[in-house]
């Protein structure tokens, strides 16, 4: 994990060195501790604000270099708009926004967790700190050549100044666990496929054992025995062997059915024999973002000791064209016993999910199942990069996911399932085919395919993250290609459903 950031908490008192970040509202009001810290510099701030017509609007900044009377070398005043309108998620964003205002070379910074109305509450200050870390993440482990002036400091000390250090440290513990999970997921998505192939991905999940997650790795032999031929067919053209990883966290009542999370882990998707065009094919190293999210989530749940029983299962394969690769027209028998005619070897994610979802349901009888997958380009056509597509056989689960989305900013939009779409994947030769006849409604026919491997009594949701898992919109809290999308969403779903 690239974490050159050293985050700490300290009381408001004491002169800040380096960069000082403070907040004001749209009336240019500051909190009392902030005013004390600014001291005589307040007057300079007022003059600079007037000169630059800075009014403290949300997401506006006023910067002063070497502000007179302060030990700080730079003062950044950030407007937060109207205090009454700030929602919990805004504090994470504010942390990200603040971190984004630190100059690249700065090695010390202090952020005042105070608003005009008073010190931020522990939850708010902890969110602020979380936002700083999410923003500061950069995947730069393969950069060996940097000009001196581009080189970031080895460590960057960011101090969050607060009123009650102990209370905020406590509130930050679970936030830090969740953030670690997000950054872990980002790292996995960002890794190139020559480094992160199925076996290596599986090996990295073993680190979860330190957090008391039980980790099992199924190899090809074990999968053959189980009859996971849909998954194995996808991986058979690769020189890298396929794997399934099962992760279990038991933080809930003993014997209580778990919730299950299932991730598509196509470490690289060339399309197989139905090969993809060259343009942007390099992005397909991120076709394991669903699996990365599940691993990041398991990390988050275990590290914060969530009071829930949860299982995470990921199907890890590489989709390659080769003499041994699966062909269009091939028919495979899935673990469920249903047969599938392969029409397009590039519709591989659903084949992987079919077996892993079936296996998860049989083995764990979960309370609900949620799968995550960078499944279709069609979902990007439908929703762009703002919302992930969500499909569900259960209204309560769908509503909970939508709500968690609004709370975390990881938005999901519910898409339809219906028999009319299901018909489109009936096959002449087998029980079903792996693509619909046309590209229209491609995200829906993919979801319908997966639904055939879910029994109607298990609440299930499928989240298509092709538009959000990587190369997604850059935000105040994410400047990384691999976004780690979904870790905060699903963590929140667990919190809201089982821990309140
Ligand atoms: N991994 C891709 C989907 C994808 C595309 C994710 C672009 C992120 C960005 C998936 O395996 C795929 O190739 N889907 C095909 C399905 C088609 C062959 C029915 C697609 O979307 O074109
Ligand atoms: Mn594909
Ligand atoms: Zn794929």
The structure tokens listed for 155 are 């460590």
Nearest to 286 by CA among 308, 305, 263: 263
Distance from C-alpha of 354 to C-alpha of 233, rounded to nearest angstrom: 12
Answer yes or no: is the C-beta of 269 below 6 A from any ligand 1 atom.
Answer: yes
Domain 178-497 homologous superfamily, CATH: Zn peptidases (3.40.630.10)
Q: Sign (positive/negative) of CA torsion 186, 391, 366, 499?
A: positive
- Please choose from 347, 354, 372, 450 the residue to mutate so as to test ligand 1's pocket, defined by most ligand atoms within 8 A of CB: 347
What separation in Å is there between the alpha carbon of 41 and the centre of ligand 2? Answer: 58
* Domains of the chain by residue range: 5-163, 178-497
> Among 417, 413, 347, 343, which Cα is nearest to 380's?
413
Element containing residue 433 per DSSP (H, E)? strand 432-433
341 lines ligand 1 (CB under 6 A): no
378 CB near ligand 1 (under 6 Å) = yes
Asked if the domains at 5-163 and 178-497 fall in one CATH topology, the answer is no
Q: Computed over its alpha carbons, how large is the radius of gyration of the chain?
A: 24
Residue nearest ligand 1's atom 3 by CA: 376
- Is the Cβ–Cβ distance between 63 and 51 less than 8 Å? no
Q: How far is the CA of 482 from the centre of ligand 2 (A)?
A: 18
**CA 96 to ligand 2 center in whole angstroms:** 34
| d(C-alpha 382, C-alpha 263), whole Å | 22
Number of the ligand closest to the Cα of 434 = 1
Q: Which ligand is nearest to the CA of 424?
A: 1
Whole-model pTM? 0.98
Question: Which residue from 189, 292, 377, 445 has its CB within 8 A of the most atoms of ligand 1, so it is best to mutate?
Answer: 377
346 close to ligand 1 (CB < 6 Angstrom): yes
pLDDT digit string (tens) for the chain, length 500 residues: 445 899 999 999 877 899 999 999 999 999 999 999 999 999 999 999 999 999 999 999 999 999 988 999 999 999 999 999 999 999 999 999 999 999 988 899 999 999 999 999 999 999 999 999 999 999 999 999 877 666 778 889 999 999 999 999 999 999 999 999 999 999 999 999 999 999 999 999 999 999 999 999 999 999 999 999 999 999 999 999 999 999 999 999 999 999 999 999 999 999 999 999 999 999 999 999 999 999 999 999 999 999 999 999 999 999 999 999 999 999 999 999 999 999 999 999 999 999 999 999 999 999 999 999 999 999 999 999 999 999 999 999 999 999 999 999 999 999 999 999 999 999 999 999 999 989 999 999 999 999 999 999 999 999 999 999 999 889 999 999 999 999 999 999 999 999 98
CA of 347 to the centre of ligand 1 (A): 6
Is 276 designated active site?
yes
DSSP track, 285-334: GGTTHHHHHHHHHHHHHHHTT-SSEEEEEEEEEEE--STTS--TT-EEE-
Q: Is the dihedral of CA 314, 319, 324, 328 positive or negative?
A: positive
The pLDDT assigned to 38 comes to: 95
Determine the residue of 354, 376, 464, 481 to mutate for testing ligand 1's pocket, defined as the one with the most ligand atoms within 8 A of the Cβ atom. 376
Q: Residue 49 corresponds to which tokens in the numbers above?
A: 């604000």
H or E element that contains 249:
strand 243-250
Q: Which SS3 state, helix, strand or coil, does residue 341 take? A: strand
Annotated active-site residue in 350, 367, 451, 492: 350
User: CATH topology for 5-163?
Assistant: 3.40.220
Which is it for the CA torsion 171, 173, 175, 176, positive or negative? positive
Catalytic residue among 17, 204, 276, 403: 276
Atom from ligand 1 closest to the CA of residue 348: 11
Ligand 1 proximity of 471 Cβ (cutoff 6 Å): no
User: How distant is the alpha carbon of residue 176 from its chain centre?
Assistant: 14
Residue 436, CB-side half-sphere exposure with 13 Å CA sphere: 20
- Which ligand is closest in space to the CA of residue 271? 2
> Counting atoms of ligand 1 from 1, which one is nearest the CA of 276?
13
């Amino acid at each position: 994990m690239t974490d050159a950031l050293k985050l700490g908490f300290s009381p408001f008192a004491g002169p800040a060195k380096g960069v000082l970040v403070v907040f004001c509202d749209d009336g240019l009001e500051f909190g009392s501790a902030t005013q004390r810290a600014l001291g005589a510099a307040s007057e300079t701030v007022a003059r600079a604000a007037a000169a630059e017509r800075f009014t403290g609007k949300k997401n506006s900044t006023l910067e002063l270099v070497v502000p007179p009377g302060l030990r700080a070398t730079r003062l950044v005043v950030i407007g937060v708009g109207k205090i009454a309108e700030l929602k919990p998620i805004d504090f994470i964003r504010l942390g990200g926004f603040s971190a984004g205002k630190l100059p690249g070379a700065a090695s010390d910074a202090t952020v005042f967790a105070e608003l005009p109305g008073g010190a931020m509450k522990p939850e708010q200050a902890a969110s602020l700190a979380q936002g700083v870390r999410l923003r500061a993440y950069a995947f730069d482990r393969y950069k060996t050549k940097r000009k001196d002036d581009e080189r970031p400091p080895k460590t960057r000390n960011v101090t969050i100044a607060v009123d009650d250090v102990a209370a905020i440290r406590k509130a930050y513990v679970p936030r830090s666990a969740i953030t670690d999970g997000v950054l872990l997921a980002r790292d996995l998505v960002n890794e190139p496929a020559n480094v992160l192939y199925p076996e290596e991905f599986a090996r990295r999940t073993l680190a979860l054992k330190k957090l008391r997650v039980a980790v099992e790795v199924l190899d090809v032999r074990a999968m053959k025995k189980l009859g996971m031929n849909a998954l194995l067919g996808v991986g058979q053209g690769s020189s890298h062997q396929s794997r399934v990883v099962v992760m279990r966290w038991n933080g809930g009542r003993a014997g209580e059915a778990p919730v299950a999370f299932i991730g598509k882990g196509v470490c690289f998707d060339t399309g197989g024999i139905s090969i993809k065009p060259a343009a942007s094919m390099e992005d397909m190293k991120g076709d394991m973002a669903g699996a990365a999210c599940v691993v990041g989530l398991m990390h988050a749940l275990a590290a914060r000791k969530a009071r829930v029983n949860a299982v995470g299962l990921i199907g890890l394969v590489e989709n390659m064209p080769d003499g041994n690769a699966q062909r269009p027209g091939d028919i495979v028998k899935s673990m469920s016993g249903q047969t599938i005619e392969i029409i397009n070897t590039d519709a591989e994610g659903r084949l992987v999910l079919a077996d892993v979802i079936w296996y998860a349901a049989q083995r764990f009888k979960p309370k609900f199942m949620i799968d995550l997958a960078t499944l279709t380009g069609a979902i990007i056509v439908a929703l762009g990069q703002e919302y992930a597509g969500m499909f569900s056989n259960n209204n309560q689960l769908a509503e909970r996911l939508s709500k968690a989305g609004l709370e975390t900013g990881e938005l999901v939009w519910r898409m339809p399932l219906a028999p009319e779409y299901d018909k489109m994947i009936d096959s002449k030769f087998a029980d079903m085919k792996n693509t619909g006849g046309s590209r229209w409604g491609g995200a829906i026919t993919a979801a319908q395919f997966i639904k055939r491997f879910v029994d109607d009594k298990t609440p299930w949701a499928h989240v298509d993250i092709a538009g959000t898992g990587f190369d997604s919109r850059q935000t105040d809290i994410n400047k990384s290609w691999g976004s780690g999308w979904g870790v905060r969403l699903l963590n929140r779903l667990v919190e809201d459903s089982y821990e309140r």
